[in-house]
Amino acid sequence: MQLTGAQALIKSLEMEGVEVIFGLPGGAILPVYDPLIDSSIRHILVRHEQGAGHMAEGYAIATGRPGVAMVTSGPGATNIVTPIGNAYMDSTPLVVITGQVATAAIGTDAFQECDITGITQGITKHNFLITDVNDIPRAIAAAFHIATTGRPGPVLVDLPKDLSQSTMEWWYPSTIEELDLPGYRPSVDLDARSIEAAVALIAQAERPVLYVGGGTLKSGASAELLAFAERTKMPVVTTLMARGAFPDSHPQNLGMPGMHGVYAAVTAIQKSDLLISLGARFDDRVTGKIPAFAPEAKIIHVDIDKAEFNKVRRTNVAIRASVADALTALDAAGATPKGLGPWWQQIDEWRAQFPLVYDAPTEDGLLRPQYVIESIHAAAEPGTIVSSGVGQHQMWASQFWKFEEPGTWVNSGGAGTMGFGVPSAIGAKVGRPDKTVWCIDGDGCFQMTAQELVTARAEGIPVKIAILNNAYLGMVRQWQEMFYEERYSEVYLSADLPDYVKWAEAMGCVGLRARTVEEMHEAIRQANEINDVPVVIDFRTDAREKVFPMVAAGASNDDIMVHPLQREA
Amino acid sequence: MAPEPFLGVTDRTPVQHHILSVLVENKSGVLSRVAGLFARRGFNIYSLAVAPAETSARFSRITIVVDAESAPLEQIVEQLDKLVNVVAISDISPKDALERELLLATIRTDVNSRTPLSDVVANSGAAIVDVDAHSITLMLAGTPAACDELERQLDNYDTVELHRTGRVALPRLGTTTSS
């Protein structure tokens, strides 16, 4: 069967089971958009290529399947660089297809030419520039294989226009060998000695903590984690990337550790004698000052990526495996710590003394952002998916939403990409149309990618956006208040410019505004009744509100600052 | 900030250097991926040599002398191993390595300098490979130390140009490498 390169590309995506592509056409990718008309694959036409990338990420995080985005060359490709970098930092499986100028024009500074494989070399798991039309099926199959196996990540495939227009005899690789990846070995046999060593360490532990990272979600290990944690009775902390991996309602869950972590979670790690890292990577936002991080703890480090071992903290026992396989093996080997009674007693004291708190409603009527989040959560059905941008609202969402199941928290962790919230919510809703999807956003973040609500309206994707509008770039404002003597530099945005309600309406969405507690509950009620179009709510919140607890950048986790309400006079 | 990767000639071999013999797929852009990884992660390259490998035209071998003071060797190896085009890595410690490199130098000469220079060439095991009325070009294929020594002796002469290839290495017979 003779196919054009463009047809072969679309057929390859069909072979990989792709159900949706987020994209925007242009000159170099134009030939591929023609056979797309005849394909069963849904295409979602975004308004900016960054939106396509973040939607693909949201889709991948909510479904566990790889997200697919397709854009043209040059600026189309550079516009999707941020989502690629974001997916790389958060190990999200993504396949990004970029058009490229014709093979003969490469290197001539042709119109809309850019070296996108060079640009994305450091932020993709791998990338391909296709140079032969017959290689299209192999490149696509390899891209999906690499993106989804081992430690997942983004893979970019750059396709010159002349190859899309050439013809080839259709084939598709049916074995891993045909992918021709002699240097790629993502799977390993679990080393039984590492399990034995871990069991021995666990047996001596009196103050262990299960430090649960994003890899636990990536490997689908929530059931194994629950079984292991309940049998061993060890306390659990879930990092920003692992929210939902272990139920927040579970009494063993201490919550999120790190710079804005729950006091008990941060302090339990600090005082632990054994830290069992499950797909976490000792990020600086978790460790704080590294030499002062959990100084008495021995480390058992479970990761599928062996480059994570000893990268930040010396490991006592490294277990190279998926989190699910490692937990199954540890459970089978009967890993059991000592009696944890005194440890739990201590932890429960911390929990009782320093729970997450926030102030009562302000006298001037501005909403507390934490209360808005708790109110949305209280009115949301179980299993609701929440996305967020990056900043204060993200930290509050992670702190005050109660996550009970995997795939319900969609956020930008490692890269900290403002503007991630709206498009990732749209992608999540596309992947999980059965679920309600809320985006907890900030006013600064919303302004970066809001135009994708036009996409959402046009494509019939009813997401709900809660803007916590404090008129500021709130996290930067917080740092300037605390560390720059309240010298506020370039952080004021205004609560009324733009008019978020009118903007929402102009994009075909329902726009609501809430200034008081009564208006807030009414707006949430209305939003929950609307299931055909996107809803945007402009919640007016207090700009003076700060995220606590907080460990200052570069400080030791021992120097955690609790909420002012919890400080002694 | 990480120092710039060093890709040229120096007489200061890092005390803690290691030799990585890296088998890679012979595809366009692979050298850039390897060099880019070192730059990105702040690892220092002391010297680098690349050529087709013995196995087949599909593979090339990159010999990288790394400054193991700039980053733990384990991190360098593990990050390198994650590159999809990297097929195998052998870590050869300096004491187990047979290292060789090639030095080419063009020296401006006059009647006074030719004779002593000829002695330098003879004593160092170098060879004269080109001559004209005003200069000679010599070469030495030898250990990095021998090349260092010759370079030092040539300091006394009017060197027009001097190039070193960077070393290639194989493990000494009877030793094992880790990979």
CATH number assigned to the domain comprising residue B160: 3.30.70.1150
- Answer yes or no: is pLDDT of B6 > 70: no
| Phi, psi for residue A71 in degrees, rounded to 5 | -140, 175
| Phi, psi for residue A126 in degrees, rounded to 5 | -165, 160
Q: What pLDDT does A52 receive?
A: 98
Domain end among B77, B92, B107: B92
Its pTM stands at 0.95
CA distance A312 to A297: 14
- Answer yes or no: is pLDDT of A185 > 70: yes
- Answer yes or no: is pLDDT of B178 > 80: no
User: Could you report the per-residue pLDDT of A356-365, keeping only the tens digit for each?
Assistant: 999 887 777 7
Total Cβ atoms within 10 A of residue A203: 12
Q: Search chain B and give the residue with CA nearest A307.
A: B78
A183, B74: Cβ pair inside 8 Å? no
Residue A25 is encoded by which pair of tokens? 């056409």
Whether B84 is in a domain gets the answer: yes
Whether B43 is in a domain gets the answer: yes
**In sequence order, what are the residues at sequence separation of 6 or more whose Cβ sits closer than 8 angstroms to the Cβ of residue B11?**
B148, B151, B152
Q: Cis before residue A355, ω within 30 degrees of 0? A: no
| Closest CB to B40 among A122, A307, A309 | A122
Rounded mean pLDDT, A208-214: 98
Tell me which CATH code domain A192-353 carries: 3.40.50.1220
- Answer yes or no: is pLDDT of A3 > 80: yes
Q: Which residues of B touch A183 (CB under 8 A)?
A: 24-25, 83-88
Closest to A263 (Cα-Cα) out of A196, A193, A351, A365: A351
**Would strands A67-71 and A20-23 be described as parallel, antiparallel, or unpaired?**
parallel
A239 and A256 Cβ atoms separated by less than 8 Å: yes
Tell me which CATH code domain A2-179 carries: 3.40.50.970
- Answer yes or no: is pLDDT of A156 > 70: yes
Any B CB within 8 A of A311 CB: yes
Domain end among B75, B92, B109: B92
Q: What pLDDT does A449 receive?
A: 98
What DSSP element (H or E) covers A77? helix A75-79
Tell me: do B63 and B107 sit in the same domain. Answer: no
Tell me: do B64 and B26 sit in the same domain. Answer: yes
**Would strands B44-52 and B59-67 be described as parallel, antiparallel, or unpaired?**
antiparallel
Question: Is A475 known to be catalytic?
Answer: yes
Tell me: do B107 and B74 sit in the same domain. Answer: no
Q: Which of A70, A256, A475, A507 is catalytic?
A: A475
Any B CB within 8 A of A304 CB: no
Domain end among B70, B92, B114: B92
Residue A495 is encoded by which pair of tokens? 């609560």
CA distance B133 to A328: 78
B74 and B68 Cβ atoms separated by less than 8 Å: no
CATH number assigned to the domain comprising residue B82: 3.30.70.260
Q: What is the ipTM of this complex?
A: 0.91
- Answer yes or no: is pLDDT of A38 > 60: yes
For B116, B154, B162, the CA distances from B123, given in Å and listed in that order, are 10, 13, 19
Whether B124 is in a domain gets the answer: yes
Question: Is A298 known to be catalytic?
Answer: no
Rounded mean pLDDT, A217-229: 98
Look-up of token digits 């944690």: A229
Question: Is A49 known to be catalytic?
Answer: yes
Q: Which residues of B touch A146 (CB under 8 A)?
A: 84
A153 and A87 Cβ atoms separated by less than 8 Å: yes
- Answer yes or no: is pLDDT of B95 > 90: no
A392 and A482 Cβ atoms separated by less than 8 Å: no
Domain that holds residue B35: 17-92
User: Could you report the per-residue pLDDT of A431-441, keeping only the tens digit for each?
Assistant: 999 999 999 99
Q: Chains A and B: how many Cβ contacts under 8 Å?
A: 40
Lowest mean pLDDT among A476-480, B15-19, B29-33, B86-90: B15-19
Q: Cis before residue A498, ω within 30 degrees of 0? A: yes
- Helices and strands (DSSP H and E) totals, chain A: 23, 20
CA distance B126 to B151: 11
Q: What pLDDT does A414 receive?
A: 97
Closest to A73 (Cα-Cα) out of A194, A191, A164: A164
- Answer yes or no: is pLDDT of A116 > 80: yes
Tell me: do B49 and B76 sit in the same domain. Answer: yes
Q: Which residues of B touch A145 (CB under 8 A)?
A: none
A330 and A195 Cβ atoms separated by less than 8 Å: yes
Q: What pLDDT does B179 receive?
A: 57
CATH architecture of the domain formed by A369-540: 3-Layer(aba) Sandwich (3.40)
Domain count, chain B: 2
Whether B12 is in a domain gets the answer: no
For B52, B55, B63, B97, the CA distances from B59, given in Å and listed in that order, are 6, 7, 13, 22
CA distance A428 to A383: 13
Strand, helix or coil for residue A156: strand
- Answer yes or no: is pLDDT of A208 > 50: yes
**In sequence order, what are the residues at sequence separation of 6 or more whose Cβ sits closer than 8 angstroms to the Cβ of residue A54?**
A83, A86, A417, A419, A420, A423, A424, A427, A449
Tell me: do B72 and B107 sit in the same domain. Answer: no
Angle made by CA atoms A387, A393, A394, in degrees to the nearest 5: 50
| Closest CB to B33 among A121, A305, A306 | A121
B85, A183: Cβ pair inside 8 Å? yes
Total Cβ atoms within 10 A of residue B51: 11
Q: A414: which DSSP letter?
A: S
- Answer yes or no: is pLDDT of B3 > 70: no
Tell me: do B114 and B75 sit in the same domain. Answer: no
Tell me: do B74 and B105 sit in the same domain. Answer: no
* Radius of gyration of chain A from its Cα atoms, rounded to whole angstroms: 24
Which residues in chain A are classed under CATH 3.40.50.970?
A: 2-179, 369-540
Total Cβ atoms within 10 A of residue A525: 10
Q: How far is B98 from chain A (nearest CA, A)?
A: 26
Tell me: do B88 and B51 sit in the same domain. Answer: yes
Which residues in chain A are classed under CATH 3.40.50.1220?
A: 192-353
User: Could you report the per-residue pLDDT of B8-46, keeping only the tens digit for each?
Assistant: 334 445 567 889 999 999 998 999 999 999 999 888 888
| Closest CB to B82 among A117, A307, A309 | A307
Q: What average pLDDT does chain B have?
A: 87
B24, A183: Cβ pair inside 8 Å? yes
Residue B16 is encoded by which pair of tokens? 């803690």
CA distance A266 to A225: 20
Q: How far is A158 from chain B (nearest CA, A)?
A: 14
Whether B86 is in a domain gets the answer: yes
